[in-house]
Structure 1
């Protein structure tokens, strides 16, 4: 039986698809992520027992990971642990952890989440974003709550190089702006769950006006992703002690950075000149 190559990380794939798993599958995924070395030594029956579930559930999980064989899954997992021993373990925080351990685990979790972007954010997706951006006359970055700060960061970066951008954290203002959107507008919606009603309402209005929709979300099966022309995944299985979207927020900021740099490098001379204009303008406020 042919063993899959290591074009993508098996453990990254689990983290990326975590939000699509059933409760029983998540128990299995949690065990695999926390104890990958032990899993390589377990039979399918033993792994099912660790997740308090059945062999059928194990195979359903493997199907979502694109594996037809538990044996091949174990071989690839063992290979990954050998090739990347320092990149696999992503431990949960516990009540007994001291400050040094807390610091180490939080840093590790965030670094792992960012590294997963190698798999979740393809070059084709970035290229498609650039095509949407080039075809638009105005870009609307919207998000509420914690996602509002991501939108404001994008506003600052893209506005800094002269792109016509708009952002507002107030849901009423979002709807008003979207009510006057056009097919020349590009709407970029940020929502960790993809179920924020305020964002969905704004997207719905913009869609009716023919605006293109790009979403930045952690859930590929969310309402927001389904309403989008293109979605960029920031998925990561945040841990028990993390506030919601904690690592996802770091990933989303990194995605914005990647999109900004990719945009800048497409027309470096023009954007560098525009950035200098912004620097001179900001310098007026400095002594």
Structure 2
């Protein structure tokens, strides 16, 4: 685009030069704009915006914008999908129904595409690992946290590496990982560069990598020892998190089924949580104020006797 602007610059009008300067300084922003939005932003007419596109050698604004989008495809895909959906009238109930239908399709496609051998390899890798590190940035951080929560009672050492310290903290942990460990890398479009980079470092160090991602062309799939795939198409967001979460939960379920002592671990966890479960005999929050009847009785002040100066 900069080359086209440079070639056309001598013949551009003052308004077109203003547009050219804005495009060169804000290419991503312009790539998200319809022609009327760009015209309003720069205070020119829609016709002027169209003539600007033709002055750069395009047939019109749609072709100019399509060329500008090239290179930003993955980043702009959710924006384009949202633009098309918002432009169609729909009630809130319609959007709810469409969202649920989309989630169901994604989960159905994820289930149908499961590779039995990959499932076995993923479970075996988790059970074999001395310690497990989980990385995923952006929305995948939440998925990683839920995966860590599911695996923690079943495995000896499971650590979520995507913390408030950022990717540098994860890099320090990965640098100490061994081939006897396992790195679980979670990434969906738009793939976080930090996740791919750290998975690459682990791969180079001989650390097995289990990828939870969306397709065989994912940058994580080429680094992984084994990959599990979830369909994550969404009309409103970059990904459907529900199907990715379903895949993570299914993985935890398979590990629980295969883990020796999973029942005793679940029993011990339930017993540990009793004081924090509302309505249980030991529930700390069974009564208003967060205290059990017994503890409140103990803390009840004694009545002051006559002449008591206490």
Q: Work out whether residues 186 and 213 of structure 1, in 8 Å CA contact, stay in contact via their aligned partners in 2.
A: yes
Q: 1:93 to 1:230 in 2, by over 3 A?
A: farther
Residue 143 of structure 2 corresponds to: 150
How far apart are the structure 2 equivalents of 1:274 and 1:94? 51
Q: Work out whether residues 215 and 229 of structure 2, in 8 Å CA contact, stay in contact via their aligned partners in 1.
A: yes
How far apart are the structure 2 equivalents of 1:106 and 1:123? 29
Q: Work out whether residues 194 and 225 of structure 1, in 8 Å CA contact, stay in contact via their aligned partners in 2.
A: no
Residue 272 of structure 2 corresponds to: 281
Find the residue that maps to 2:191 and give its secondary structure: coil
Q: 1:137 to 1:194 in 2, by over 3 A?
A: farther
Give structure 1 stretches of 5+ with no counterpart: 1-91
* TM-score (normalizing by structure 2): 0.58
Deviation at residue 235 of structure 1 after TM alignment: 2.6
* TM-score (normalizing by structure 1): 0.62
- Greater relative contact order (CA < 8 Å, ≥ 6 in sequence): 1
Find the residue that maps to 1:225 and give its secondary structure: coil
Residue 165 of structure 1 pairs with residue 158 of structure 2: yes
**1:127-168 CA-partner distances (Å, limit 9, x unpaired):** 111221232111111101100000000110110234420103
How far apart are the structure 1 equivalents of 2:233 and 2:256? 31
Pair member with larger Rg: 2
Give structure 2 stretches of 5+ with no counterpart: 1-84, 278-283, 285-310
Residue 206 of structure 2 corresponds to: 210
How far apart are the structure 2 equivalents of 1:200 and 1:218? 14
Residue 180 of structure 1 pairs with residue 169 of structure 2: no
**1:154-198 CA-partner distances (Å, limit 9, x unpaired):** 110110234420103221111111011011111110010373211
Q: Work out whether residues 175 and 201 of structure 1, in 8 Å CA contact, stay in contact via their aligned partners in 2.
A: no
Aligned length: 192
Residue 196 of structure 2 corresponds to: 200
